[in-house]
């Protein structure tokens, strides 16, 4: 089994690329979706977050996302503390997911922070989705109903594209001029030939 990591900055089109892989019969683990599920359902995560931030974080048994965000926004140390709680549970969940997909010759793991979280070490090959900055800004402002400044702030908090590209085995260019399907098919051909 070949494990592909799919990464890229906010608004790069990771989800679209993941959907194409999925249409090519490659199961895709979406780390963002699964981490949100785990934060809502994992007693381990819940207990550790309550120990740090108090019971009000889970008033009514449901995570108060706004309260958690207020604790970690613009505080890198607190963000890293929360990630240190969540990432091990996501890793455990991913490993169980891999076992459940053992019949698949290729699987993928999509994560915006693949390198930052260390999940790249669990992958055989890394696919980075590159999209020009202006396209990323437009997409994210429209999708998230937010300002250019707020999107730029989020982009600046992520690993730069140039760094991600250097650490990746494949770079998919998502600029509207290159076929995403052809690029995905080419990557699949190359990894299946390994």
Backbone angles phi, psi at 25, to 5 degrees: 65, 30
The domain tally of the chain equals: 2
What are the structure tokens assigned to 151, written together? 């999107």
Whether residue 94 is found in the same domain as residue 185? no
Q: In angstroms, what CA-CA distances link 40 with 17, 37, 47, 55, 100?
A: 27, 5, 11, 14, 22
* CB distance 16 to 174 below 8 Å: yes
How many Cα atoms sit within 13 Å of 33 on the Cβ side?
A: 8
Boundary of a domain, candidates 44, 78, 103: 103
What contacts 142, CB < 8 A, 6 or more positions away? Answer: none
- What pLDDT shows up at residue 153? 85
* Of 67, 42, 43, the residue nearest 57 (C-alpha): 67
- What pLDDT shows up at residue 194? 67
Whether residue 113 is found in the same domain as residue 145? yes
Whether residue 95 is found in the same domain as residue 152? no
User: Cα(150)–Cα(169) distance, rounded to whole angstroms?
Assistant: 30
Domain hosting 47: range is 33-103
The pLDDT tens digits of the residues spanning 14-60 come to 999 999 999 999 999 999 999 999 998 999 999 999 998 888 888 88
- What pLDDT shows up at residue 192? 85
HEC readout, 65-133: HHHHHHHHCCCHHHHHHHHHHHHHHHHHHHHHHHHHCCCCCEEEEECCCCCCCCHHHHCCEEEEEECCH
Q: Domain holding 73: CATH number?
A: 3.40.50.300
* CB distance 82 to 30 below 8 Å: no
Whether residue 82 is found in the same domain as residue 110? no
Which residue ranges are tagged as binding site for ATP? 11-16
> What are residue 136's DSSP bridge partners?
none
What pTM, to 2 d.p., does this model score? 0.90
Whether residue 18 is found in the same domain as residue 38? no
pLDDT, mean over the chain: 92
For residue 142, pLDDT over 90 is answered with: yes
Which residue ranges are tagged as binding site? 11-16
Boundary of a domain, candidates 52, 82, 103: 103
What are the structure tokens assigned to 54, written together? 């108090």
């Amino acid at each position: 089994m070949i494990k592909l990591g799919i990464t890229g900055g906010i608004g790069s089109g990771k989800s679209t690329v993941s959907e194409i892989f999925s249409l090519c019969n490659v199961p895709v683990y979406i780390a963002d979706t699964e981490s949100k599920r785990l934060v809502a359902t994992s007693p381990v995560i819940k207990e550790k977050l309550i120990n740090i931030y108090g019971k009000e974080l889970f008033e009514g048994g449901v995570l108060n996302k706004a309260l958690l965000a207020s604790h970690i926004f613009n505080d890198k140390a607190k963000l890293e503390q929360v990630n240190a709680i969540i990432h091990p549970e996501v890793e455990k969940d991913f490993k169980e997911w891999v076992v459940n997909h053992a019949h698949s010759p290729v699987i993928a793991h999509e994560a915006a922070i693949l390198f930052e979280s260390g999940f790249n070490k669990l992958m055989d090959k890394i696919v980075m989705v590159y999209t020009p900055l202006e396209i990323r800004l437009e997409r994210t402002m429209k999708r998230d109903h937010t300002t250019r400044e707020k999107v730029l702030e989020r982009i600046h908090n992520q690993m730069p594209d140039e760094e991600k590209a250097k650490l990746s085995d494949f770079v998919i260019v998502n600029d509207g001029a290159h076929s995403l399907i052809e690029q995905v098919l080419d990557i699949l051909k190359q990894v299946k030939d390994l």
